[in-house]
Structure 1
Amino acid sequence: MQDNPDIGAAPPVWTRLRFEARAAAADEPTMASYIDAAILSHDTICRALAFHMAEKLAGPEMGAQQVRHVVANAYDLNPDLVEAAEADMQAVLERDPACRGLLQPFLFFKGFLALQTYRVANHLWRQGRETLAFHFQSRASELFGVDIHPAAQIGRGVMLDHATDITIGETAIVGDNCSLLHGVTLGGTGKEVGDRHPKIGKGVLLSVGAKVLGNITIGDEAKVAAGSVVLKDVHARCTVAGVPAKPVGQQPCCEPARNMDQSIPDDTTA
């Protein structure tokens, strides 16, 4: 079934994206041709995403048509990928004060595009197509400055804000509705093998330059302050800061990833 907005059957994200695309094409004629090619000429958001991602990810190894076929096939086989993309766009719109609509993350925000590239790579990884999955990981790293292993597990409604230098390792898990700012690393602590990367709960805020290392757990709605190095488990709704990071208090409010509140509580508790 097609989600054509002209017959009233489209989900809200696709309807709004097309509306914004029409307005942007009228306001900026120099971009009108690409906006039409990337969005307005398609009947579904999955086809639009496949086209735009292919234009971004194409290179000497794989042309745009090949990439587009791979991405479109992934979306056809796994509709959850499209639902996750919609949730990711909504997350950016809700949390980033610089974002004026859905068109910006869709066309321009490299955090969103890197995350969608990872989602396709993860789908390929689960199909056993590891070489192609690694290719997509490599392209995302080259183009967007974001290095996410295709075997990592990332929930939906996630925002990679600015995104440069975000690194997420092979056995890392990131829950739904998290926000990761630039310079975040979810890494190991050495040459150990097996399950060696962090497990991030739901609604967690990882601020600028936070380094979370080892097979540790960050509880739901916790907050890691900018520049912190986390080497031990963090309780749910706790704020940690420092090198090495230590608890500096409970959250004064819930959902730090949604609120993007990076302040440190005054009332410290160890």
Structure 2
Amino acid sequence: MTSSMLNLRAGTTERLARHVAVQLSNLFPDEGLDVDIDSLLALVPRALERMQPILAAVRNFDPGCFNHLNSLQYTSFLYLLANERWRSGAGDALPERLFCLNRALNAVDLFYAVELPAVFFVSHGLSAVLGRASYGDRLVFFQNVTVGRVGNRSPVLGRDVVLFPGAQVTGDAVIGDRCVVSAGTHVHGLAVPDDTVVFTGPQGVVLKPRRKDYIGLYLRSLDE
């Protein structure tokens, strides 16, 4: 499926580019509205292509539709636009402005140089900060989550990981595949094996085998 095959709430890619450009011009003006529209027109199709696996995976989304008025979808889209511009090596202020726009509108910190996986779901991502780390595919995260390096030590997250509200993964922590970091739990410098639930007990961090399909609550399986 190409981006042109998506049903866009905005109607066309041109109208979607103008929508973003007007917001940028109002909040973080730079070289003018027309320049922003031209720049965004080159980015929107590729960003929409990258939205498709997200729309297809998230249970709450319609796989064939992109709705820029859905804040969760729009949060991901603005990150993808900024990341696409940064990848292009243009060297201008547009990625930073798109990053600032995302923070202003959606209160989420998704830096454009951070490489998120092909499928990620921002579920109520207010105050979430996803910094430099290695992210496995099909990541789900909630509000107040922090992922970040400490000095030169960066976390590694596996596939099908769920980070519940207030979870923190820092330093050289390693989170295995199909793991869950429970609400308010801080994992630092710890290797968590596959299929584990991490939570905070009276004596600190506790690991237990995962017995529930948490990721399936939010993402469709690959064969659905």
- After TM superposition, is the score higher than 0.5? yes
For the residue of structure 1 that corresponds to 2:192, the secondary structure is coil
Structure 1 counterpart of 2:21, from 38, 54, 63: 54
TM-superposed CA distance for 1:219, in Å, is 1.4
TM-superposed CA distance for 1:223, in Å, is 0.6
Between structures 1 and 2, the one with greater helix share = 1
Does the 8 Å contact 1:179/1:258 carry over to 2?
A: no
TM-superposed CA distance for 1:260, in Å, is 4.2
Give the distance between the partners of 2:171 and 2:3, measured in 1 at CA.
43
Between structures 1 and 2, the one with greater strand share = 2
Partner residue of 1:201? 158
TM-superposed CA distance for 1:55, in Å, is 4.3
The residue identity in structure 2 corresponding to 1:85 is M
Structure 1 counterpart of 2:95, from 111, 116, 133: 133
- Determine if the alignment matches structure 1 residue 251 to structure 2 residue 210: yes
- Determine if the alignment matches structure 1 residue 237 to structure 2 residue 195: yes
TM-superposed CA distance for 1:179, in Å, is 0.8
For the residue of structure 2 that corresponds to 1:153, the secondary structure is coil
Structure 2 unaligned regions, length at least 5: 220-224
Partner residue of 2:143? 182
Give the distance between the partners of 2:135 and 2:39, measured in 1 at CA.
25
For the residue of structure 1 that corresponds to 2:37, the secondary structure is helix
Partner residue of 1:82? 48
Does the 8 Å contact 2:130/2:146 carry over to 1?
A: yes
TM-superposed CA distance for 1:56, in Å, is 4.2
Does the 8 Å contact 2:133/2:149 carry over to 1?
A: no
1:1-270 aligned within 5 A: 10=5, 14=6, 17=7, 38-39=10-11, 42=12, 46-47=13-14, 49-60=16-27, 61-62=29-30, 64-75=33-44, 79=46, 81-92=47-58, 94=59, 96=60, 101=62, 106-128=67-89, 129=91, 131-169=93-131, 171-189=132-150, 192=151, 194=152, 196-231=153-188, 232-242=190-200, 244-247=204-207, 249-254=208-213, 256-260=214-218
TM-superposed CA distance for 1:102, in Å, is 6.3
The residue identity in structure 1 corresponding to 2:155 is P
Give the distance between the partners of 1:91 and 1:54, measured in 2 at CA.
28
TM-superposed CA distance for 1:203, in Å, is 1.1
TM-score, normalised by the number of residues in structure 1 = 0.67
The residue identity in structure 2 corresponding to 1:258 is G
Does the 8 Å contact 1:210/1:227 carry over to 2?
A: yes
Show CA shifts across 1:24-65 (max 9, x none): xxxxxxxxxxx5xx22xx2xxx54643443344442514554
Give the distance between the partners of 2:179 and 2:125, measured in 1 at CA.
20
The residue identity in structure 2 corresponding to 1:252 is R
The residue identity in structure 2 corresponding to 1:123 is E
Does the 8 Å contact 1:198/1:214 carry over to 2?
A: yes
Worse-superposed segment, 83-92 or 145-154: 83-92
TM-superposed CA distance for 1:144, in Å, is 1.0
Give the distance between the partners of 2:49 and 2:181, measured in 1 at CA.
28
Higher relative contact order (CA 8 A, sep 6+): 2
The residue identity in structure 1 corresponding to 2:170 is L
Does the 8 Å contact 2:57/2:119 carry over to 1?
A: yes
TM-superposed CA distance for 1:130, in Å, is 5.9
Does the 8 Å contact 1:109/1:162 carry over to 2?
A: no
Q: 1:199 to 1:148 in 2, by over 3 A?
A: same
TM-superposed CA distance for 1:166, in Å, is 1.0
Q: 1:113 to 1:257 in 2, by over 3 A?
A: same
